Amino acid sequence: MHTLRRRSPLRRIVLASAATVTGTVLLLSMKPHTTPHIVTAAPAPSGSASVPAGSAGSGGSGADRSRGSAAAGTKTVTGDSAPTRYGPVQVRITVRNGKLTDVTAVTYPQENPRDQEINGYAVPQLRREALAAQSADIDVVSGATYTSQGYQQSLQSALDSMGG
């Protein structure tokens, strides 16, 4: 029995890691599903609020989907709520002058103590990882070759979707 008890923290960590991955997937699944054509434009004049990247996406229902804040060059985008094996999760990101400045989980499972325990670890971890990559001010990511499915969970995918 003692052995079992001693092993339980490890199990919690494993569960937390799984939840972190889910969180990252959800963040990345907010990528706007625009048509596949290529667009280009000159830089927007400074001082004007950019159009939230998510607003062009299809399928979102109105006001909840994305909100552009009033601050210059700042975008706040709320992703669609996505069902996960742990329950619905919805994430909001803030991008200021092309840099990710905040990641917040708006909706996440918190029905039972274990959910809360996992969230206590996973939500800050998601935030830390997203911000660490962003604060490194990188343009592109090199890593072991990903598949098309793996791309969806990659940091490169996050960079592509943020236009950072």
Residues forming contacts to another protein in the complex (CB under 8 A) are 20-21, 24, 31-32, 34-44, 46, 50, 53, 73, 97-98, 129-130, 132-133, 136-148, 150-151, 154-157, 159-161, 163-164
Choose between 41 and 112: whose C-beta lies nearer to another protein.
Answer: 41
Choose between 34 and 110: whose C-beta lies nearer to another protein.
Answer: 34
Q: Least distance from C-beta 114 to another protein, angstroms?
A: 22
Q: Least distance from C-beta 35 to another protein, angstroms?
A: 8
DSSP 93: E
Q: Least distance from C-beta 66 to another protein, angstroms?
A: 15
Choose between 120 and 151: whose C-beta lies nearer to another protein.
Answer: 151
Place of tokens 């923290």: 9
What HEC string does 10-47 produce? HHHHHHHHHHHHHHHHHHHCCCCCCCCCCCCCCCCCCC
Determine contact, residues 109/115, Cβ cutoff 8 Å: yes
CA 32 – CA 57 distance, rounded (Å) = 5
Q: Which residues pair with 95 in a beta bridge?
A: 75, 100
CA 6 – CA 3 distance, rounded (Å) = 5
Q: Least distance from C-beta 141 to another protein, angstroms?
A: 5
